[in-house]
């Protein structure tokens, strides 16, 4: 039994299922705020236990309710991979608690006598509109990876879900990154909410060693192979399109290394199989679009490579967040050609990351290198105040000196 969770008055059956002793910061904060029955926006880094932070209080609430097997909670996530991940965690934490949950992944689904449903927003909204599911009894609604859901065109689906579920429900929005724009959209769905900000967009996982290598365009793929062989570990390689995935996978395999693809055009059954094989270390290298940056939770993932830089800063955060999870150390490497310098400057500047650009031995640069603008050092408020004081003192001394000169001349 996890004694340090007893302070939250969780049911003993539930406590027995928690596989660790100490709650993380996000878990403490959400478990405390959940009792107030207020809506919550919770922001915390990847790998800090956000999923358990909402599963635990919801399962506890259902156990304590007198009537079970009535739909009480909805958990909405952006991808089918996340549906599977949350479902697995829910099964773990609710073992022997008499809780039934289901996921809307296929046509043969059971929605009667269910306590919790996990689904993607479009699938859930369709079933609601087609009256296949009645969500009017729902009193807990979780929107996990809220930035992706509200930022990727699911606002209308979420409007259906919010509108058809109980007006008195408690809503939790969670994510590693939630922008001001997403907060603005989300607020229209929330009432009297609390914000829990354990980390923010500028705070990435501290256990990641960030590297960046400049490379000529024609040698970029060769450098990737060199790094993969040098690191000799599992690696998560990210690109921006499904065409790039297939091209990079083919190149890696042609160089006597083993890689598998992951992107949205691969059917879910095969995507799920690939992820399971990767977790079991049956696959050495996974090449993926941003679909793999969320919902693939591998505790000790040693290496992430940005073969192509993402177009959005938040995607850089989530890609790198696949490594350095749950206290384990990891490495995130970005490969940069001259076309990437400006984007990389923007990413590191916004995230306040200091990542030195290196050149790998044997990959000396021949492409024309644009001149880098010298970065002006930003003055802190304390230094600025001190500088103003010095200027004021200098100005006063100069004035006094001028006055003394005038008096001397008159004399």
pLDDT digits (tens, 9 = 90+) for 333-342: 999 999 999 9
Domain count, the chain: 2
Question: Quick check: is 292 in a domain?
Answer: yes
CB 334 within 8 A of CB 212: yes
Answer yes or no: do 170 and 251 share one domain. Answer: no
Helix 80-93 vs helix 50-64: crossing angle, to nearest 10: 50
- Reported as a pLDDT band with limits 50, 70 and 90, residue 378 is very low
pLDDT at 279: 85
Residue 177 has pLDDT above 80, yes or no: no
Mean pLDDT taken over the chain: 86
Residue 396 has pLDDT above 90, yes or no: no
Q: Which domain holds residue 159?
A: 3-197
In whole angstroms, what is the distance from residue 89 CA to residue 109 CA? 19
Question: 129-136 long-range contacts, Cβ below 8 Å, gap at least 24?
Answer: 129/160, 133/71, 134/71, 135/71, 135/74, 135/161, 135/164, 135/165, 136/164, 136/165, 136/166
Answer yes or no: do 251 and 310 share one domain. Answer: yes
Answer yes or no: do 50 and 176 share one domain. Answer: yes
Residue 403 has pLDDT above 60, yes or no: no
Helix 268-279 vs helix 80-93: crossing angle, to nearest 10: 60
Q: Where is mean pLDDT largest: 26-40, 141-155, 167-181?
A: 26-40
Question: Quick check: is 401 in a domain?
Answer: no
- Reported as a pLDDT band with limits 50, 70 and 90, residue 113 is confident
In whole angstroms, what is the distance from residue 3 CA to residue 22 CA? 8
Answer yes or no: do 181 and 218 share one domain. Answer: no
Residue 201 has pLDDT above 50, yes or no: no
> Which of 78 and 295 is assigned the larger pLDDT?
78
Question: Quick check: is 230 in a domain?
Answer: yes
Answer yes or no: do 177 and 278 share one domain. Answer: no
In whole angstroms, what is the distance from residue 23 CA to residue 52 CA? 9
Name which of 329, 324, 292 is nearest 307 in CA terms: 292
In whole angstroms, what is the distance from residue 163 CA to residue 160 CA? 5
Answer yes or no: do 66 and 214 share one domain. Answer: no
In whole angstroms, what is the distance from residue 255 CA to residue 248 CA? 11
36: Cβ–Cβ under 8 A, 6 or more apart, which residues?
Answer: 194
Answer yes or no: do 157 and 242 share one domain. Answer: no
CATH number of domain containing 249: 3.40.50.300
Question: Quick check: is 402 in a domain?
Answer: no
Answer yes or no: do 184 and 319 share one domain. Answer: no
Express each pLDDT in 316-367 by its tens digit.
988 888 887 766 788 999 999 999 999 999 999 888 888 999 999 999 999 8
Express each pLDDT in 242-286 by its tens digit.
999 999 999 999 999 999 999 989 988 898 899 888 888 899 999
Question: Quick check: is 123 in a domain?
Answer: yes
Helix (H, G, I), strand (E, B), or coil: what is residue 407?
Answer: helix
CB 309 within 8 A of CB 347: yes
Q: Which of 87-101, 241-255, 378-392 has the lowest mean pLDDT?
A: 378-392
In whole angstroms, what is the distance from residue 389 CA to residue 381 CA? 12
Question: Quick check: is 11 in a domain?
Answer: yes
CB 146 within 8 A of CB 119: no
Q: Which of 8-22, 94-108, 155-169, 392-406 has the lowest mean pLDDT?
A: 392-406
Say how many C-beta atoms besides its own lie within 10 A of residue 270's C-beta.
12
Q: What is the CA radius of gyration of the chain?
A: 26
Last residue in a domain, options 170, 197, 224: 197
Residue 203 has pLDDT above 60, yes or no: no
Answer yes or no: do 235 and 123 share one domain. Answer: no
> Which of 394 and 298 is assigned the larger pLDDT?
298
Residue 106 has pLDDT above 70, yes or no: no
Answer yes or no: do 265 and 307 share one domain. Answer: yes
Question: Quick check: is 410 in a domain?
Answer: no
In whole angstroms, what is the distance from residue 100 CA to residue 37 CA? 23
- Reported as a pLDDT band with limits 50, 70 and 90, residue 205 is very low
Answer yes or no: do 218 and 182 share one domain. Answer: no
Answer yes or no: do 317 and 180 share one domain. Answer: no
């Amino acid at each position: 039994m996890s004694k340090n969770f007893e302070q939250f008055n969780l049911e003993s059956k539930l406590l027995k299922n928690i596989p660790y002793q100490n709650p993380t910061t996000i878990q403490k904060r959400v478990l405390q705020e959940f009792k107030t029955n207020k809506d919550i926006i919770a922001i915390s880094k990847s790998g800090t236990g956000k999923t358990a932070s909402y599963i635990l209080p919801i399962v506890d609430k259902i156990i304590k309710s007198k009537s079970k097997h009535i739909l009480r909670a909805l958990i909405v996530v952006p991808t089918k991979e996340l549906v599977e991940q949350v479902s697995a965690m829910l099964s773990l934490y609710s073992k022997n608690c008499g809780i039934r949950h289901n996921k809307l992944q296929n046509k043969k689904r059971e929605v009667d006598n269910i306590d919790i449903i996990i689904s993607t927003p479009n699938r859930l909204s369709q079933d609601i509109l087609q009256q296949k599911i009645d969500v009017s009894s729902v009193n807990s609604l979780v929107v996990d990876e809220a930035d992706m859901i509200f930022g990727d065109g699911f606002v209308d689906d979420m409007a259906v879900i919010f509108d058809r579920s109980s007006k008195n429900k408690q809503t939790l929005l969670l994510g590693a990154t939630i922008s001001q724009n997403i907060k603005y959209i989300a607020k229209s769905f929330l009432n009297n909410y609390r914000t829990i900000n354990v980390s923010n967009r500028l705070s990435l996982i501290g256990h990641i060693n960030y590297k960046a290598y400049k490379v000529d365009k024609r040698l970029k793929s060769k450098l990737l192979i060199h790094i993969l062989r040098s690191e000799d570990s599992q690696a998560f390689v990210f690109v921006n399109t499904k065409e790039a995935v297939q091209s990079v996978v083919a190149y890696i395999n042609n160089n006597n290394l083993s890689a598998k693809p992951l992107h949205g055009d691969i059917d879910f059954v095969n995507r799920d199989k690939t992820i399971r094989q990767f977790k079991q270390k049956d696959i050495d290298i996974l090449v993926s679009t941003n679909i793999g940056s969320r919902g693939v939770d591998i505790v000790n993932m040693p290496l992430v490579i940005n073969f192509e830089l993402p177009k959005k800063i938040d995607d850089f955060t989530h890609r790198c967040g696949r490594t350095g999870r749950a206290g384990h150390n990891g490495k995130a490497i970005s490969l940069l050609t001259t076309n990437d310098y400006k984007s990389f400057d923007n990413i590191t500047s916004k995230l306040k990351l200091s990542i030195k650009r290196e050149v790998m031995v044997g990959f000396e640069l021949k492409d024309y290198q644009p001149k880098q603008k010298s970065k002006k050092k930003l003055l802190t408020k304390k230094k600025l105040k001190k500088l103003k004081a010095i200027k004021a003192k200098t100005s006063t001394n100069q004035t006094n000196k001028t006055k003394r000169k005038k008096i001397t001349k008159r004399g």
